[in-house]
Amino acid sequence: MNPRVPKTGDLIPPNLIPRDLMSRLIANGMNLNEAEGRTWDPVPVLKLFNPVGPGRWLITEIAQDADSLFGLCDLDQGCPELGYVSLDELEAIRLPFRARILRDPHFVGHVPISRWAALARRFGSIATAEGAVQVLMSVPRGRPN
């Protein structure tokens, strides 16, 4: 049994993902399983990043194995892609200067993952797509009265 998701349903948060965000990731993972035939396009719940080099991940859900995170993955090679990444492996990464993979506590997804993926592919990175999303969110919607 995985210690992150005990059978009691009481979550034990890993170091990288706080309890409230883990609950949202689990809920999104369950919603994906229930979507069957419907379009499922959630907004990313969290952003993980390498503070000393390449690597950004926008995560929408976690699989039932409590390790496989799904989202937009970008290793700064100009081709961000949707896919799975192992939470255990991200937590195990040891970077220079004793750094580790971090969570951006200020991240708000704003738009569905498909929009993030389209922007990141168009601009070549999640980092550049973040600027585009900020611009999109600052444009007023609708017409003034």
Domain-located, residue 32: yes
pLDDT of residue 7: 39
pLDDT of residue 40: 81
Give dist(CA 31, CA 53) in Å, integer: 33
Domain-located, residue 14: no
Domain-located, residue 34: yes
Residues belonging to the chain: 145
Q: What is the pTM of this model?
A: 0.82
Report DSSP letters for 49-65, one per residue: E-TTSS-EEEEEEE-TT
Residues 51/90, Cβ–Cβ less than 8 Å:
no
Domain-located, residue 13: no
Per-residue pLDDT reduced to its tens digit, 19-47: 999 999 999 988 866 656 667 899 999 99
Domain-located, residue 25: yes
Domain-located, residue 10: no
Tell me the residue range of the domain where 33 lies: 19-138
**Overall domain count for the chain:** 1
Q: Are strands 56-62 and 68-74 parallel, antiparallel or unpaired?
A: antiparallel
